[in-house]
Amino acid sequence: MNFSAITVLCIGDLMLDRFLYGEMERISPEAPVPVLRLNRTREMPGGVGNVVNNILSLGGRAILLGLRGRDEAGATLRRALADRPGLTDATVESSDRPTICKTRIVAANQQVVRTDEESRLPLQPAEEAALLAALDSQLPHARALLLSDYAKGTLGERVVATAIAQARKRGLPVFVDPKTRDFSRYRGATCITPNARELAAATALPVDSDEQVAAAAREAMQRAGAGAILATRSEKGLMLVERDGLAHPARSRARQVFDVSGAGDTVIATLALAYASGRSMVQAMHIANAAAGVVVGKPGTATADLGEVMAELDMQDQEQGAPQPGHPAGLLSLPQAAMLVERWKAQGLAVGFTNGCFDILHPGHVALLAAARSECDRLVVGLNTDESVRRLKGPGRPVNDLAARAEVMAAIRHVDAVVGFGEDTPIELVRALLPDVLVKGADYAADQVVGADLVQANGGRLVLARLVPGRSTTTTIGRIRNDSPPS
């Protein structure tokens, strides 16, 4: 997993986050309040600036576009942004408003008080013109557009509409972190990422259960004309709903949570990078969920790096790898398989894929799997579900159900992962996994192999493995029925 070639243009409300750390030693003689003895100060970009921090930490590149005032906080922000590898500072200086500055006073690892310096002035014509001019000059350099709306004035209606329209005209995905109840102002966005409270406010629907969150997301998506809604749900993880209406949950791993502040910024930053790099929205969601899991385990507003995200994905797989109720042993879900393949590829390993019913395993099957494994470093096997086998082979098949076939297949030394599919062909698996090597038996012609065009277009190759003569499940079943010995 490498995001170094991905540049995300981030537009939104820019802030200076200032932390004053100290110790409370006594009560003031002037008033019944504690006296804090300061010992250090920490300052960093906040708001859309924290989204950028996350993108840079993950190895991506970012263009930052927002407003800053002509004041001390604005100068501090510029210094914080200067000379950061991978960052283009396209911020606009405004004489109409101060730099948004949030100052948090912290003692004994707890915030004592927070002060906010900001203007509630609507976006002024000169500010709007400067933002649109910067957008026009910077958008050609981006692979994705991200709008971080804190409802502080930067993302006026014309700025939002123009940014989305121009990005879509260029074929760029658009991700929005909303702060308004009216999601229609983000019409045309690829994905909007509200938290559960924001989703409830935008739809006036309950969001307590998975089913309620999915229903509210479908309603929000329809109102906004968006491609997807990704709801962030704190300790409950994430819930993605796309245009097909299907809901895809991503659960959070049990952990000690230090601070959830900034986790939403981590989610949308990771989501944009992963999707812009070619992952599906479901795959991008799982990567974003892992990144969020890393940052909530750190105190304060934190970021995650790629190594931490990969380690978190490994931990999630270990926890989720045990068979779930109704989930056969040894059989991965598609999201699990996709994440596993992604990590193997990130490690420079060649991933192979083959598929079949594999009903009654025989030497011909083992020879095919051995040949497939010899062409790659890791082999994924796709198994037809029972319903799929019946459609292909007839009402008397399969002899062994999916759970039994998956358990046996996972035990074969040539096989590294097993995933099921219910369609007549494995085209969706091939599209999601994009293996480096696609293997089928030599009884197929190259133009008959489903998914070969996708693999080859992605730089992979097709291998037609030699079959063992006279070995097939149908022949084996016939021998059993005739009670005849093998030849």
Three-state DSSP class for 420? strand
**How many CB atoms lie under 10 A from the CB of residue 78?**
14
Alpha-carbon 222 to chain mean position: 22
Per DSSP bridges, beta strands 61-65 and 247-250 are unpaired
Query: 202: annotated binding-site residue?
Result: no
Annotated catalytic residue within 265, 359, 386, 416: 265
Distance CA 382, CA 363 (A): 18
Query: 195: annotated binding-site residue?
Result: yes
Distance CA 411, CA 70 (A): 66
Q: Which two tokens stand for residue 261?
A: 């502040």
For 267, counting Cβ atoms within 10 Å of its Cβ (0-12 exposed, 13-18 middle, 19+ buried), the class is buried
Cβ–Cβ under 8 Å, residues 8 and 143 = yes
Bridge partners (DSSP) of residue 41 are 20
Which phi and psi angles does 40 have, rounded to 5°? -160, 160
Cis link prior to 194 (omega < 30° from 0)? no
**How many CB atoms lie under 10 A from the CB of residue 75?**
14
Cβ–Cβ under 8 Å, residues 289 and 304 = no
Query: 84: annotated binding-site residue?
Result: no
- 113 Cβ contact list (under 8 Å, min separation 6): 104, 105
| Sign (positive or negative) of CA dihedral 54, 56, 61, 66 | positive
For 409, counting Cβ atoms within 10 Å of its Cβ (0-12 exposed, 13-18 middle, 19+ buried), the class is buried
- Torsion angle (degrees, nearest 10) of CA 272, 77, 123, 199: 40
Which of 99-120 are b and which e, b meaning 16 or more Cβ less than 10 Å from the residue's Cβ? bbbbbbbbbeeeeeeeeebbee
Query: 423: annotated binding-site residue?
Result: no
Three-state DSSP class for 220? helix
**C-alpha separations of 20 from 37, 103, 104, 108, 124 in Å:** 10, 7, 6, 12, 32
Distance CA 274, CA 452 (A): 24
Respond yes or no: is residue 453 known to be catalytic: no
Distance CA 376, CA 452 (A): 16
The secondary structure of 345-384 as a DSSP string is HHTT--EEEEEE---S--HHHHHHHHHHHTTSSEEEEEEE
Binding site for ATP, by residue number, is 195-198
Binding site, by residue number, is 195-198
Task: Tell me the catalytic residues.
Answer: 265
